[in-house]
Amino acid sequence: MKQLSGLDAAFLYMETPNTYGHVNALAVYQRPSPDFDPYSAVYERFGSLVGHLEPLRRRVVEVPFGLDHPYWVDDPHFDLDFHVRQIGLAPPGAADQLAEQVARIIGRPMDRSRPLWEVYVIEGLGDGRWAMLTKTHHATIDGAAGVIMLKLMTDESADAPWPYEPVAWKGEELPTDRELLKRSINHLVSNPVKGARLSLRILRNFAESAGLNSLGELATKSRELITSTAGRSEQANAVSDQVKRVTMPLTAAPATPWNKSVGPDRRFAMRSESLANIKRLKDATGGTVNDVVMAICAGALREYLLHHDALPDEPLRAMVPVSVRTGLEEDPWTNRVSSIIAELPTNCADPLERVARCREAMNAAKLQLDLVPADAIMEATDITSPVIATAAVRLMARLSDRITLPINVVISNVPGPREDLYFAGAKLDHYTPVSTITNGIGLNITVHSYGDQLDFGLVSDRELVPDLWDLADLHIDEVTRLFKASGAEWAVPQGPAAGRRGAMKPVVAKKTAAKKSAAKKAAPKQAAPKQTAPKQTSTKKVAAKKAAKRSTSKR
């Protein structure tokens, strides 16, 4: 039994009926032989790992009334059949059919009475390959821990022996409410002390980031900053420049179509690009791979908003998750992540200038971690009341249509393994991230590198971004635009997108129109019936008949 850290628990508190805290990954594998059975291979491999990996067997136990952070407990009723599932795509098994199934799966909350993970074996892909979707709650792992788990699940060669044999383990008896409340009282008593220490630490970090060696120098440095406005202190100018660069954006970001409250349903779209091509652009522009990725996202978002006549005059803002793992953590299965907020130069028309501006924005945003280091943020979440945290999330959900948050979109770039990986002999071709969205931020773009490629995974609210595939395609178009602007030579020719069936509504409408046209042509032509004009009786004849009648009656 182990208590969740405040940061891990925060991903539970963030959940509402329409927002979910799980993160996902879609892996596409080759089929090593015609008789290969993906489901049995996945079932066997995950089953053998349950005793080795805590995240696979532990479930959440919540403290009564939300008075303290929940606890992890080894599930006494663990059921592997519940966690490993199998589905199939209908023909033709196109890329958008796969994405639609993924969107439906991630649009469902997880069962907190069980370990917070699910695995879906997806067969029926049109090219003969198979896919595996892993769905894991963010309370269990972050992006970097996901890469660790990926490497544990896979091998570096097709014929590598599987090193993990099943080990016996026993679930724990679930604690009573009385036991949980007793633990919570002891924990809460220590929080005021932790809070005071944390406040002093954050104040010290702010002071040091501004060049203060001690808090006693605060008044002196303040006078120097004032003097710098008149150009009388070179040292104060340097401090002032640093303070200007280090900003924590708190004002509302410009409005976009997806910065509203989200519904329960999702869309997912994916595209891939050669990592070698991205590196060519890196060399040509003088940036980093991450700078180029950010510029690609900025250019794609700009084009998308232009198409919808919704491009703001101001640059958009992106929240960029940052891993703070050192590799020395005793427990790898916990979140070690922070975030920075960077401007996206969507208001800039020149693609090369966008790369330069992304580099400047990311360098400035990284200094935010100097103001409030990641471990200080993690300590803050540890001492935050779960009741307050949950209430804050619910309040933001209610206000998300009335106010705009300081950020527009989440963009994450996760470095993955460079070597080829295999799952029970099946070669991994693509590893596409499938992240999460929240109220007020209905779009997430996550990029994952594997081998010599970058896989872009886009997740959105189903109604706020109905043409998500168009946005995914615009990312690849932006790569082409950067090559043309920079004059760089392609390392790998850009290949066609994976086959997509496309929306069925126009297909059905086209089929219906074709059937009607065919039926009209096939119908035999019938002669129009002759219409006989009614006999017209002249006025004189009518008058003569009437006169003859009268004459006869008189006789």
Task: Say what the pLDDT of residue 134 is.
Answer: 97
Same domain, 172 and 209: no
Q: What percent of the chain has pLDDT over 70?
A: 76
* pLDDT digit string, tens, across residues 435-474: 999 999 999 999 999 999 999 999 999 999 999 999 999 9
Pair (166, 206) in one structural domain: no
Residue 27, domain member (yes or no): yes
Average pLDDT value for the chain: 83
In a domain, 387, yes or no: yes
Kindly state whether residues 279 and 395 are assigned to the same domain: yes
Mean pLDDT of 46-58: 95
Q: Is the pLDDT of residue 196 over 50?
A: no
Cβ–Cβ < 8 Å for 296, 478? yes
Task: Please state, as a whole number, how many other Cβ atoms lie within 10 Å of the Cβ of residue 513.
Answer: 10
> What are the angstrom distances between the C-alpha of 294 and each of 200, 281, 291, 300, 355?
35, 12, 5, 10, 8
Do 28 and 143 fall into the same domain? yes
Tokens of 361: 């924005």
Average pLDDT for residues 73-87, to the nearest whole number?
A: 97
Residue 215: give the domain boundaries.
191-245
**Could you tell me if residue 91 is inside a domain?**
yes
Q: Higher pLDDT residue, 407 or 378?
A: 407
Domain boundary among 179, 211, 233: 179
- Whether residue 138 lies in the annotated active site: yes
Q: Give residue 481's identity as a one-letter amino acid code.
A: R
Together in a domain, 233 and 328: no
CATH of the domain at 66: 3.30.559.10
How many angstroms from the chain centroid is the CA of residue 275?
21
What pLDDT, on a 0 to 100 scale, did the predictor assign at position 425?
Answer: 97
**Residue 466 pLDDT:** 97
pLDDT at 305: 98
Same domain, 218 and 124: no
pLDDT at residue 79 greater than cutoff 70: yes
Q: Does residue 11 sit within a domain?
A: yes
| CA–CA distance, 342 with 249 (Å, rounded to integer) | 9
DSSP-derived secondary structure for 206-221: HHHHTT-SSGGGHHHH
Q: What is the largest CA-CA distance in the chain?
A: 144
Task: Say what the pLDDT of residue 339 is.
Answer: 84
Is pTM, for the whole model, over 0.75?
A: yes
Q: Look at residue 68 in the predicted model and tell me its pLDDT.
A: 86
**The residue to which tokens 């002669």 are assigned:** 527
Same domain assignment for residues 286 and 204: no
Place of tokens 């993990």: 164
Does residue 139 surpass a pLDDT of 60?
yes
pLDDT score recorded for residue 322: 85
**Contact call for residues 461 and 438 (beta carbons, < 8 A):** no
CA angle 426, 279, 374 (to 5 degrees): 85
For residue 396, pLDDT over 80 is answered with: no
Q: Does the pLDDT at position 224 exceed 90?
A: no
- Among 147, 179, 211, where does a domain finish? 179
Mean pLDDT within 279-290: 95
Ranges of H-type helices in 229-347: 234-245, 275-285, 289-307
- The confidence band for 371, taking pLDDT boundaries of 50, 70 and 90, is low
Instruction: Look at residue 207 and tell me whether its pLDDT is greater than 60.
Output: no
Residue 155 DSSP symbol: B
Q: Could you count the other beta carbons within 10 Å of the beta carbon of residue 25? A: 25
Q: What is the CATH number of the domain that holds 454?
A: 3.30.559.30
Among the three residues 476, 494, 512, which one is the final residue of a domain in this structure?
Answer: 494
Asked if residue 520 belongs to a domain, the reply is no
pLDDT range class, residue 92, cuts 50, 70, 90: very high
Catalytic residue among 22, 69, 83, 138: 138
Residue 466 in any domain: the answer is yes
pLDDT mean over 34-45: 97
Residue 110 lies in a domain: yes
Q: How sure is the predictor about 515, in pLDDT bands with cuts at 50, 70 and 90?
A: confident
67 — pLDDT class (breaks 50, 70, 90): confident
Give the chain's end-to-end CA distance (angstroms, integer): 128
Shared domain for 205 and 287, answered yes or no, is no
Same domain, 22 and 150: yes
**76-86 average pLDDT score:** 97
The number of beta carbons lying within 10 Å of the beta carbon of residue 196 is 11
Give the mean model confidence (pLDDT) for residues 465-489.
Answer: 97
50 and 126 share one domain: yes
Among 139, 14, 27, residue whose Cα is nearest residue 433: 27
Interval 15-31: pLDDT, tens: 999 999 999 999 999 99
* Cβ atoms within 10 Å, residue 422: 18
Can you say whether the dihedral through the CA atoms of 150, 153, 159, 162 is positive or negative? positive
pLDDT of residue 226: 37
pLDDT in tens, 107-126: 999 999 999 999 999 999 99
The pLDDT of 496-509, averaged and rounded, is 79
**Residues 95, 112: contact at Cβ < 8 Å?**
no
Q: Tokens standing for 134?
A: 């892993």
Residue 545 lies in a domain: no
- Tell whether 173 and 195 lie within a shared domain: no
Question: Rounded distance, CA 349 to CA 299, Å?
Answer: 8
Q: Do both 174 and 199 map to the same domain?
A: no
Number of folded domains in the chain? 3
pLDDT of 32 above 90: yes
Please give the Cα distance from 480 to 277 (Å, whole number).
10
